[in-house]
Amino acid sequence: MTEAILATQGISKSFGALKASDDVSIDLMAGEIHAIIGPNGAGKSTLIKQICGGLKPDTGTVKLLGEDVTDLPTELRARAGLGRTFQISALAMEDTVLQNAVLGALGGQGNPWRFFKPVLKDKDLLDTAMEALERVGLQDHAKTRTAELSHGQRRQLEVAVALTLKPKAFVMDEPMAGLGTEGSKRLTEFLGDLRHQAPILLVEHDMDAVFALADRISVLVYGKVIATGTVEEIRANKDVRDAYLGDEA
């Protein structure tokens, strides 16, 4: 059996009496999209924070490429190969699209301690940034201020910044949120291809996208994984229907 690229092993996290994560074990294999779904308040955001850094699980471990990263801060997990997109776009709004992408490239390169040479004249950084922008189709907006982008374009830029890091695994927090039908469709296609570059742990509310994309789905309810399986298995699972999918499935 091949080893998981990204895995949580029995992580639990409580806030007072509330169990936000309850013995969660999820793994992400090469080339796959593993979707995590669950009703609001199921503990998806808490789980993402524990995977990406920012919250330390009470018990359990997070592994990236076989290494235990549970104690690493966010930025070191990113350097170890974790690319993340946010649910609410976290971008430097005053800066241009290109500057945001260059920031990603700079992070990937790992040395921001240069104080004199203009960053936009660094050919390596520019190439990496432009390549990522081209892949998401934002190359014509490179000089646009990020604040002026449409909501959908910001989501594309989120993905582009993650791409500049050339990550080994992606964690995407509701990338479809707020996109129109057309936008979701395009992003769905894009992510479908992206999985071959690096696997994606996808937290998503858009069920059409999840069912279209996911190789496997895990269902999180009250901090517990109640089922993991293929799309068909999850659709057929009675517990999942009762707890979550309802009439939707």
Partner 1 sequence: MTRETLFNSAALAALALVPLWAHFSGEPFTVTLATRAVILALAAVGLHIALGLGGLVSLGHAVFFGIGGYAMGILAHHAQTYTPLMEWPFVIEGTKSMPVIWLVAVVLSSVVAYFIGLLSLRTSGVYFIMITLAFGQMFFFFAISWSAYGGEDGLSIYVRNGFPGVNTLVPIQFYALCFVILAAVMFFAARLQRSPFGLALNAARQAPDRVETVGLNPMRLRLIAFVLSGAITGLAGALFADLNRFVSPTMFSWQMSGELIIFIILGGLGRLYGPVVGAVVFVALEHILGDLSDYWHIYLGVLLLGVVLFARGGIIGMLLGREVAHD
Q: Which residue has the tokens 């500057």?
A: 99
Nearer to partner 1, 79 or 205 (CB): 79
Find, among 189, 27, 144, 165, the residue nearest to 102 by Cα: 165
Q: Please, what is the minimum distance in Å from the beta carbon of residue 53 to partner 1?
A: 7
Tokens (6 digits) for 199: 């696997």
For binding to partner 1 (CB under 8 A), which residues are involved?
Answer: 52-54, 73-76, 78-79, 82-84, 86, 90-96, 99-100, 102-104, 106-108, 110-120, 122, 125, 145, 161-162, 164-165
Amino acid letter, residue 89: S
Q: Please, what is the minimum distance in Å from the beta carbon of residue 246 to partner 1?
A: 33
Nearer to partner 1, 9 or 96 (CB): 96
Burial 194-219 (b: 16+ CB within 10 A, else e): bbeebbbbbbbebeebbbbbbbbbbb
Nearer to partner 1, 48 or 243 (CB): 48
SS3 119: helix
Find, among 164, 222, 170, 227, the residue nearest to 193 by Cα: 170
What stretch of H or E contains 104?
helix 97-109
Q: Please, what is the minimum distance in Å from the beta carbon of residue 242 to partner 1?
A: 36
Nearer to partner 1, 148 or 242 (CB): 148
Count of C-beta atoms within a 10 Å radius of residue 225: 21
Q: Please, what is the minimum distance in Å from the beta carbon of residue 90 to partner 1?
A: 4
Nearer to partner 1, 115 or 247 (CB): 115
Q: Is the CB of residue 38 less than 8 Å from the CB of residue 223?
A: no
Find, among 155, 165, 158, the residue nearest to 78 by Cα: 165
Nearer to partner 1, 16 or 118 (CB): 118
Q: Please, what is the minimum distance in Å from the beta carbon of residue 28 to partner 1?
A: 17
